[in-house]
Copies of this chain bind each other. A is one copy, B any other.
Amino acid sequence: MSSRRRSRTLPHTPVILAHGGAGARIVTPAQLACLADALSRGYTVLRRGGHALDAVETTTRFLESSGHFNAGTGAHLQLDGVRRMDAALMEGRTLKAGAVAGIEAVRHPISAARLVMEKTAHVLLIGPHATRFARHFKLERQVANHRRSALASARRNTSREAVTATGPQRRMLRLYRQMLGEETVGAVALDRRGTLAASTSTGGIAFMLPGRAGDSPLIGCGIYADDEAGAVSMTGLGESIIRVAMAKEIADRMAMGTSPTTAARLVLEKLDRRIRKVEGFGAAGALVLAPDGRFAIRHSTPRMCAGYWAGTGQPVVADRFS
């Protein structure tokens, strides 16, 4: 695999990684095919000399509108029957970032996040105001509603318990979440200039309280990009990822010289030691890309729908990595 090794070691050889979540029990062939397609589109941007930020946005937009993942068109509903989405992106040269949390009825939350980054002096807009902001810029509206019928009745049954959930109820909610999977999407890219970027987009977890934000829109938790450290996009149960601020810790370790593989492994082990061993859960998946093009896809869940491409051969996609 000399072509693969070349893409991993030479600086400024463009490379892109993407994922479609690490919590699902089954990754379908359609999801893998969709991911390969998304990688190709992102790589095309890089090959033409485009920016890493444009590449991760392109890849994420494709995954959002595919309906195959829990993001954009395929997003979960919250307990009140509304689909609220979170997304973020970050650029490693300037450390500029944009994010939205709890945005509704927008086809591409990732592009709303980009507008926050480019058109405001802010990083994060939340709730109805994020939706209004997207309307102001005439972002495409979301129309499809694939998941509503399948899940609506189960959600109705659990909606009342959630606010005052006690131990056993929380365990039940946790179980439901596991059954439904966590097909958040994300990407990281390195462009020819040597600039890194990262993205995340999600519909959150099923059965969550309205207004809950997970790790995806939070800089340092679900996402980070710094040309002097690395780019990271996380997936898994957001609450666990937030408590370790995983993306930033992986980046901080890379800034100290640790390889992407080791940095991801150490922080996934920390998640296990500090969260899972106490709470009974706490697995996650990570895309990690170093400024020199070395990368890692690692997960402590049974499966992770992910892949990478550096332009040679075919995009590599699989449902299991580390």
A211-B125 in contact given A95-B274, A221-B220 (Cβ < 8 Å): yes
Q: How many residues of A contact B (CB 8 A)?
A: 54
Chain B residue at smallest Cβ distance from A213: B124
Task: Determine the chain B residues whose CB is within 8 A of the CB of A124 once the complex forms.
Answer: 212-214, 218, 242
A11 to B243, CA, bound (A): 24
Which residue of B165, B170, B211, B238 is within 8 Å of A133 (Cβ)? Answer: B211
Task: Flag if B173 contacts A121 (CB, 8 Å).
Answer: yes
Q: How far does the Cβ of A231 sit from chain B's closest Cβ, in whole Å?
A: 13
A119-B164 in contact given A245-B224, A245-B248 (Cβ < 8 Å): yes
Chain B residue at smallest Cβ distance from A79: B129
Q: Binary interface profile of A, 244-279, with partner B (CB < 8 Å = 1, else 0)?
A: 110011001100100000000000000000110010
Task: Flag if B127 contacts A211 (CB, 8 Å).
Answer: yes
Could you say which of A50-58, A96-104, A186-194 contacts chain B?
Answer: A96-104
Chain B residue at smallest Cβ distance from A256: B256
Which residue of B123, B136, B209, B242 is within 8 Å of A219 (Cβ)? Answer: B242
A275-B95 in contact given A136-B163, A211-B130, A212-B125 (Cβ < 8 Å): yes
A126 within 8 A of B: yes
A99 to B173, CA, bound (A): 21
A214 to B122, CA, bound (A): 8
Task: Determine the chain B residues whose CB is within 8 A of the CB of A209 once the complex forms.
Answer: 120, 122, 125, 129, 133
Task: Determine the chain B residues whose CB is within 8 A of the CB of A287 once the complex forms.
Answer: none
Task: Flag if A96 contacts B220 (CB, 8 Å).
Answer: no
Which of A211-230 touch B at CB < 8 Å?
211-214, 218-221, 224
A210 within 8 A of B: yes
A94-B278 in contact given A127-B126, A213-B125 (Cβ < 8 Å): yes
Task: Flag if B122 contacts A102 (CB, 8 Å).
Answer: no
A165-B278 in contact given A95-B243, A211-B128 (Cβ < 8 Å): no
A37 within 8 A of B: no
A221 to B248, CA, bound (A): 10
A96 to B101, CA, bound (A): 21
Q: Binary interface profile of A, 156-188, with partner B (CB < 8 Å = 1, else 0)?
A: 000000111100001001100000000000000
Task: Flag if B122 contacts A212 (CB, 8 Å).
Answer: yes
